[in-house]
Structures are given as structure tokens and as C-alpha cells.
Structure 1
């Protein structure tokens, strides 16, 4: 089941990134980050309510470790998303995005060191191969003009996304509920906290950015809906299995992004891109075979 959720999440995240990239041309970083959560919160609570109507369960105890992990994941995902949006604005965006995809490797290292994650030799090989493949796809000749700012922001984004994923899994494991309910509670609470933080900040500090989002309803709604569906997939998958496996398989997002670029943005696929896709496919096979 985690395989299905991961593939669905990767597909929706590819669309979310495409919408965010377009929105970032006219809206500041904080606004684009808020667009990811703005309409996702109500959808998350509707999903949670429907889940309880379908299969009643107890309410979670949110104090203690579970609540702290939820709060940490919410804040860290805001940081990670803001850093990713900054990459959209840089000249070497593709390279920075590739560095941000170091998320799977960072999650594996931090997971083993601090969160009790265990990976087999095949699992490690899949994680390393997938990380190399995504960076190969993103880098190419642009490495020669790579700036330290791009490197730092890219790696910081990857590390922040990795911590978000690890804390999401820990939060889910600390809620004494059956699988779909615990994942749904973490999803709804994380998105709600993020929305409140960003809305409050922009209302107090930068109301013109809120107006800019209001003036672009289609892109804002598209970003929020695709983000909710992607987060639904990620949170569900990470409730079921180790984060490094989810994130390595999730690198097939690059394949979906290329399909979007080819069919929607009318951009050709290069031979180098095909070789990178083959490596990502091998990484996914190793993770699934593990």
C-alpha cells in the first residue's frame, strides 16, 4: 500500500512544483509558501471527518511526543518550502533542486543515527543511486557556474524536508490510532499550524502578498489542492514504512515532472535525462526488492 501512496504523492508533487514555479514569478516567497497550505487545511479536515464517518475511532492524545513532533514537522516544512521557492528564483534552479533532492540520503543518515531506522545493503544502494541520479538530471553543464548560495540553499532545503518527513513519521507512530486515522490527524494538524503561522505573519507584515494571492485564485487553488493530495500520499506512505524508502521511490517525481514539461510546457527531453531516469528506475527497483 505504501508504494501506491508514494507514487500518487510523487505525481501530485510534480504538479504542485509546476504551479508553485509559475506563482513565484509574481508572488513573494512567503506567499507562494502559504499557497501550498491555504486551501489544503479545509480539505484535510474534510478527509479526516469522512474517515471517522466511514470507520469510527478514538480521538488522539496530542500532548507529549506526538504533539511536539507535529509542531516541529509543521515549522520545518515551512522552512523547507520557503528554501525551495528561493531556488525557483535563482539562476541555477535545476542544480539547486537536485541538491534539495538529497532529502532521501539525509533522511537515511538521520534516520539511522537518531530515529531507529534500519536499512539493508540493498536499501542503502537504492538511496545512494537515486540521489546520484536526481543530481545528474539536475546538474549537467551547469555545475561549472554553480554558486555557493545555490549549494547552501539546496542542501538546507533537502535537510529540512528530510527532518519534516522523519518527524511526520514519528508523530504518526506516537498516536495510538489505526493507520489511516493517525496519518490523517497528523496531516490536518500540520497543515492547520502552517496556515495559521503564515497567515498571521503575512497579515501583520506583508498584506500586499495576501492581495497578490487573492488576485491569482486559479494558481493558488491549484497549488493548494495538488499540495493536499501530495501530502496525503506522503503522510500515508510514511506512516506505513521507513522514510528513506518512501523518499527514494518518490524520486520518480522527476519522471512525472518531465512528462509535465514535455506535454504541458512543450519542452523536449534530452538524452542525459533518459539516462538519469534509468538510474532512478534502478534505485526504485532496489528499494522495492529490498
Structure 2
């Protein structure tokens, strides 16, 4: 029987679709803006759309506007800042190792989110859900690796950077969930959107300040490219809105595991758009992802 609590499933799938589109837009802006400039677009141009989303939610729900508590700020800062740090570590790992090996490390995020969620939030996961998370994660790692790519696992530095990046992204998911679930006296929709507004505010302030200090010409370039940046910002805010709605309803580990369907989307695009055939290894990895995700949403 489908319930409100089950809405995290379509919320997560919607967020994953939107994130794929956002990533495509950001990639097109990386050339003129650099990696950090393109990254800041999702925050800087996403923030106004988050405000619009929040205004609409307040009008529809009639919920009061809560005052952020000290504990809310602690969870929010954990979520916002570890996401930025995780991005930096990811970029460093990609510089020191192959892209596909780094992606394999990053996809341990779901397992780490399960651990952090249990430790910090007391999120309960059944044994079957833990098994589902491990199976889906193994499928992604198998799909991501290429012949000869396993040599990258012998390198301590990229391994450490990749796993630390995954840990930061897992902590970010747990931090945002922690902030959402302590917003008092409002619906889960309002709590999620409220947290999104403050999260993007903090990330915009931090990353914009960093750019002014380290690359002072980039903020001006960002404003000059406001048209494509606006669309990328909308897609980023839209994706984050649905991520946060999902976090409001279930453990971060569940959301981040189901988010692995992004790999299936990417494989489908490669196969149908670029006529790139699947190898036996990739097919086996996809089967594991489907099994893991199917088990997750069925238990």
C-alpha cells in the first residue's frame, strides 16, 4: 500500500533525473568559469529559486515560518560545509587517479551514510536494507571500473581522498536530514524547503567568498553568463528540493542508495544515444544495482 512515507521513492528518482540534467549544464560552464565557478552556480543561482519554492510552500500549507535553533544550525552547517569539502576532495582524487576509479570510491557514500545515520541520528535499518545497500553499491563499483583500472586501488593517496570525499558526502546527507527533522511545528515539505533555503545561503556565502579571495575574476564571469547559469541554478535547486523532501521521510542511506539509479540513466543514455554496447562486466554490475535497489524499495 502506497503511503506518504513511501513518497521518498518518487522524490529520489525525480531528484536523480534533475541532477543528471544539472550536471550537464554545469559541465558546459566549466570551461569559462572553472570547476569552482561552475560549482558555485548551483548555489548562487539556486538560492533565489529556493526562496520562491519556500514562499509557495508557505502559501499552500499555511505553516508558520520557524526560527532556526542553535541545534538546527549545527546540523545545517555539517550538511552544507561537508558537501563543499567533499567536492574539493573529489576533485583532488580525480587529479590523482582515473575518473572511473574515483567514482567507484565515491559510491561507497551509501554505506557510509548508513553508518553515520545510525551513529548520529539513530536511523534504523533492517538487515535486508543493509544487504540491499551493499549489493547496489557493489554493482556501481563493478560498473564503474574499467580493465586495468583496478590498479588505482593500490595508490594510497587517491584511495584516501576518494573515501574521505564519500564520507563527506555521506555526512552532508546526514547533516541535512538532521536539520530537516528537528524543524518544529511544520509539515515535512516546509521543513525540507526551509532547510534548503538556509543550506544554499550558507554554501553561496562560503563559496563566493572563496572565489573572491582565490579567483576574483570568476564572480564577474559568473554574472556575465547569467542566462545559462540561471537555468543550471534552477535545476540545482529543483534537484535539491526533492533530495531534501526524501531526506525528510527516510534515512539518508535509503535515499543515497536509490540515487544509484543515476548509473542506470547514464548507461541508458550511452547505449541509446551513443550506441555504446554494454560489456559483460557492466551488465553484471547493472543487474546487481537493479537487485539492490529493488530489494531496498520492497522491504
Q: TM-score, normalised by structure 1?
A: 0.91
Do the aligned partners of 1:32 and 1:85 also contact (CA within 8 Å) in 2? no
- Map Cα deviations across residues 55-109 of structure 1 (whole Å, 9 max, x no partner): 2111213122112211221111111223334455555011101211111000111
Residue in structure 1 matched with residue 3 of structure 2 by the alignment:
none
CA distance in 1, matches of 2:99, 2:286: 19
The runs of 5 or more residues in structure 2 that have no matched partner are 1-6
* CA distance in structure 2 between the aligned counterparts of 1:143 and 1:207, rounded to whole angstroms: 39
Rounded Cα–Cα distance in structure 2 between residues aligned with 1:128 and 1:99: 13
Give the C-alpha shift of residue 241 in structure 1: 0.7
Q: Are the aligned partners of 1:5 and 1:234 in contact in 2 as well (CA < 8 Å)? A: yes
Give, in whole Å, the separation in 1 of the partners of 2:20 and 2:260.
10
Aligned-pair Cα RMSD in Å: 2.1
Distance 2:140 2:52 in 1: 35
Q: Which residue is equivalent to 2:151?
A: 144
Q: How does 1:101-112 map to 2 (within 5 A)?
A: 101-112=107-118
Alpha-carbon offset, residue 24 of structure 1: 3.5
2:38 matches 1:32: yes
Aligned to 2:127: 121
Q: What residue number does 2:180 align with?
A: 172
Q: How many residues align?
A: 289
Q: Is the 8 A contact 2:13 2:259 kept in 1?
A: yes
Residues 175-254 of structure 1: matches in 2 within 5 Å? 175-176=183-184, 177-214=186-223, 216-217=225-226, 220-254=229-263
Aligned to 1:58: 64
Q: Find the aligned partners of 2:81 and 2:292 in 1 and give their Cα distance.
A: 30
Shift of the 99–20 alpha-carbon distance from structure 1 to 2, 3 Å rule, reads farther
Q: CA deviation at 1:243?
A: 1.1
5+ residue gaps, structure 1: none
Q: Following TM superposition, by how much is the alpha carbon of 1:208 offset from its aligned partner in structure 2, in angstroms? A: 2.1
Q: Report the TM-score, using the length of structure 2 for normalisation.
A: 0.89
Asked whether the 8 Å contact 1:33–1:85 carries over to 2, the reply is no
Q: Which runs of 4+ in 1 moved over 6 A?
A: none
State the Cα distance separating 1:196 from its structure 2 match. Answer: 1.3
Query: Is 2:265 aligned against 1:256?
Result: yes
Which 10-residue stretch deviates more, 149-158 or 78-87? 78-87
Distance (whole Å) between structure 2 residues aligned to residue 84 and residue 23 of structure 1: 19
